[in-house]
A and B are shown apart, each in its own frame.
Chain A
């Protein structure tokens, strides 16, 4: 953890970058208490400062998440082409609610504001990959495909 932090000068300016890096390094895609503590120590600020910053931004999580994060867009351009139905469908398919993680720790389902790919709405992002022109059939296919790749490693 220390080696990840030492890439940056010890100034608060780099806190967001540090949090991005530490979260990415954690297989469960979240900021552990140790990670938050390490940032606080490195920057010599109270832990509360780091926690308050981390909880402000939607891309950080303080709870363990799945190995893959599904972010489905719920902004108006996606909404008018049926995003809500897809969110419900995904939740049902995965057996979890929005913000929850599947029991096998593969997926966390999140909603997001505009992903900026409205030309192919409705859209979602799984980890760093974007998927557009989603339909009920395709959304399940994509998710199952990621699950298969996850299983084979």
Chain B
């Protein structure tokens, strides 16, 4: 491997691509060649650099300088001033913000995202150099028993990062005995405002491959499926490359690292259905059917894919497995809280100064996340509230901003934490309008299998339309809750059980706004 004196990492994700990252990359390579630096400075494509809405970003090592909003026209200056003369181009530097993978702060512990934006996600060698497959090798070479792997995960206290927060080790230990078992990774990230899993898939795909292999080893599964949203083309492409490279290197397949362990992976591309984020719908979809949720029990651990015992874990959950096995349960417990150890990845969006992707310890107060990591409300506006967890999430008003973000504090709405979406609302946001948007969404995504959800979602939507138009009544507000409660009690899956969360939290937290809407409709600017 040729040694370079410096590296320029270019963040390649969907956003950067649409801003023209390929052109910048080409200009950079051309510029370096022209300056005779092509042997000294290496250009590396990496995943997300930890900030969104910042255009094309470059991270220069070893200086640790991060540039944002770079255009083709800026490249010549970066090359001649910084890379040639060593003077960073100040006007392009990312304003100091306390996030980012490049050590801009020590406030962000990175367990899940430590390689995202640092390594070239398309290179197996770089992944290995950063510790990928080390945990797998440790486990296999030390002859660790599968039950002991499960034990470490149990002791770590890791809880599912998909939604319900079920202890991962326990879930694994509940997998029924059987000849054929499956590991399924849920990468059908559909909750509005959520894209943390996409950035893990795009930024560190080998982490997921290793996490699934370890899960397979622990429960005795030889086959894994990654179900990725059909819309995530770059994720699918990078994941496929990672799987191919691992297979080529003999890391996937038969006799892994000389042991008897065999494991292989396959990607399944979704086709556009929010409900498929529910684990049994997702299983139906992998089987090539309509994504209708199944009745539970039996749970997938007993009867899942093709009626075989199946573990379904979220991307972020599986991404936590390799570091836990590498460093041990105690190390992991050093982060987060007693009942919710570890970190959580969030996307901060909406009317916030610095939208982006962050990883913080469990239990970090919402206020810290918004003020310190998000830079507060955009344009200095007053904080009105936040929608946490996407459509199936909860509204928090200004009084709720000090809530600690962990499973205990958010117990009443457990699903909220998982998706990691934090949508910040400034003073002029209309909660009434937002709730209407959410209820339209649920009607659209209801799969139609069970009656409470099929009949309930259009009823909720119709009521909300009436309220927005200024024709609502107190009875309508009561009906919203009554119908949503019935759906919560009687629906087959979390989709129908969820609308009560945004409805109840919106009505409780913003009662005055709804009262006003009954008289004059929602304020539309």
What residues of chain A have their CB less than 8 Å away from a CB belonging to chain B? Answer: 11-17, 19-20, 52-53, 56-60, 74-77, 79-80, 112-121, 125, 128-133
Residue of B nearest to A75 (CB): B192
Contact of B429 among A14, A19, A80 (CB under 8 A): A80
Q: How far is the CB of A58 from chain B (nearest CB, A)?
A: 4
Is B15 in contact with A52, judged by CB distance below 8 angstroms?
A: no
The 4 closest A-B pairs by CB, nearest first: A119-B52, A75-B192, A57-B271, A58-B272
Q: Known contacts A118-B347, A121-B349, A128-B233; decide if A74 and B437 are in contact (CB<8 Å).
A: yes
Contact of B290 among A53, A118, A120, A121 (CB under 8 A): A53
Measured in the bound complex, the distance between the Cα atoms of B284 and A15 in whole Å is 12
Is A120 in contact with B193, judged by CB distance below 8 angstroms?
A: no
Measured in the bound complex, the distance between the Cα atoms of B291 and A15 in whole Å is 13
Is B437 in contact with A113, judged by CB distance below 8 angstroms?
A: no
Measured in the bound complex, the distance between the Cα atoms of B268 and A115 in whole Å is 18
Q: Known contacts A53-B288, A117-B14, A119-B15; decide if A76 and B437 are in contact (CB<8 Å).
A: yes
Q: Which residues of A contact B233 (CB under 8 A)?
A: 128
Q: Known contacts A16-B269, A59-B230; decide if A80 and B350 are in contact (CB<8 Å).
A: yes
Measured in the bound complex, the distance between the Cα atoms of B288 and A14 in whole Å is 6
Q: Which residues of A contact B19 (CB under 8 A)?
A: 132
Q: Which residues of A contact B391 (CB under 8 A)?
A: 75-76
Is A57 in contact with B273, judged by CB distance below 8 angstroms?
A: yes
Q: Which stretch, B117-125, B254-262, B438-446, touches the partner chain A?
A: B438-446
Measured in the bound complex, the distance between the Cα atoms of B270 and A20 in whole Å is 10
Measured in the bound complex, the distance between the Cα atoms of B231 and A20 in whole Å is 12
Residue of A nearest to B351 (CB): A80
Q: Is B287 an interface residue (CB 8 A)?
A: yes
Q: Is B195 an interface residue (CB 8 A)?
A: yes
Interface residues in B16-35 by Cβ distance below 8 A to A read 17-19
Q: Is B356 an interface residue (CB 8 A)?
A: yes
Is A132 in contact with B15, judged by CB distance below 8 angstroms?
A: yes
A to B CB contacts below 8 Å, 13 in the list: A14-B288, A53-B290, A56-B273, A58-B271, A74-B440, A76-B434, A113-B274, A116-B14, A116-B198, A119-B53, A119-B195, A119-B349, A120-B53
Is A131 in contact with B290, judged by CB distance below 8 angstroms?
A: no
What residues of chain B have their CB less than 8 Å away from a CB belonging to chain A? Answer: 14-15, 17-19, 52-53, 189-195, 198, 229-233, 268-274, 285-291, 347, 349-351, 355-356, 387, 390-391, 421, 423, 425, 429, 433-434, 437-438, 440-441, 444-445, 447
Is B192 in contact with A77, judged by CB distance below 8 angstroms?
A: yes
Could you say which of A12, A53, A60 has the most chain B C-beta atoms within 10 Å of its C-beta? Answer: A53
Is A76 in contact with B273, judged by CB distance below 8 angstroms?
A: no
Q: Known contacts A76-B423, A79-B434, A80-B423; decide if A116 and B194 are in contact (CB<8 Å).
A: yes
Q: Which residues of A contact B355 (CB under 8 A)?
A: 118-119
Measured in the bound complex, the distance between the Cα atoms of B227 and A16 in whole Å is 12
Contact of A58 among B269, B273, B441 (CB under 8 A): B273
Q: How far is the CB of B510 from chain A (nearest CB, A)?
A: 15
Is B194 in contact with A16, judged by CB distance below 8 angstroms?
A: no
Q: Known contacts A113-B192, A114-B190, A115-B231; decide if A77 and B349 are in contact (CB<8 Å).
A: yes
Q: Which residues of A contact B445 (CB under 8 A)?
A: 113
Measured in the bound complex, the distance between the Cα atoms of B53 and A31 in whole Å is 37
Contact of B441 among A15, A75, A120 (CB under 8 A): A75
Measured in the bound complex, the distance between the Cα atoms of B162 and A51 in whole Å is 31
Q: Known contacts A79-B437, A80-B429; decide if A118 and B289 are in contact (CB<8 Å).
A: no
Is A59 in contact with B190, judged by CB distance below 8 angstroms?
A: no
Measured in the bound complex, the distance between the Cα atoms of B303 and A124 in whole Å is 39
Is A114 in contact with B194, judged by CB distance below 8 angstroms?
A: yes
Is B271 in contact with A19, judged by CB distance below 8 angstroms?
A: yes
Is B290 in contact with A56, judged by CB distance below 8 angstroms?
A: yes
Q: Which residues of A contact B194 (CB under 8 A)?
A: 114, 116, 118
Q: How far is the CB of B198 from chain A (nearest CB, A)?
A: 5
Q: Known contacts A76-B391, A119-B53; decide if A53 and B193 are in contact (CB<8 Å).
A: no
Measured in the bound complex, the distance between the Cα atoms of B441 and A113 in whole Å is 8
Q: How far is the CB of B424 from chain A (nearest CB, A)?
A: 10
Q: Which residues of B contact A58 (CB under 8 A)?
A: 271-273
Measured in the bound complex, the distance between the Cα atoms of B445 and A81 in whole Å is 22
Measured in the bound complex, the distance between the Cα atoms of B350 and A19 in whole Å is 36
Is B286 in contact with A13, judged by CB distance below 8 angstroms?
A: yes
Measured in the bound complex, the distance between the Cα atoms of B14 and A57 in whole Å is 23
Q: Which residues of A contact B17 (CB under 8 A)?
A: 130
Q: Which residues of A contact B192 (CB under 8 A)?
A: 75-77, 113-114, 118
Residue of A nearest to B391 (CB): A76
Measured in the bound complex, the distance between the Cα atoms of B285 and A115 in whole Å is 20
Contact of A116 among B231, B268, B273, B350 (CB under 8 A): B231
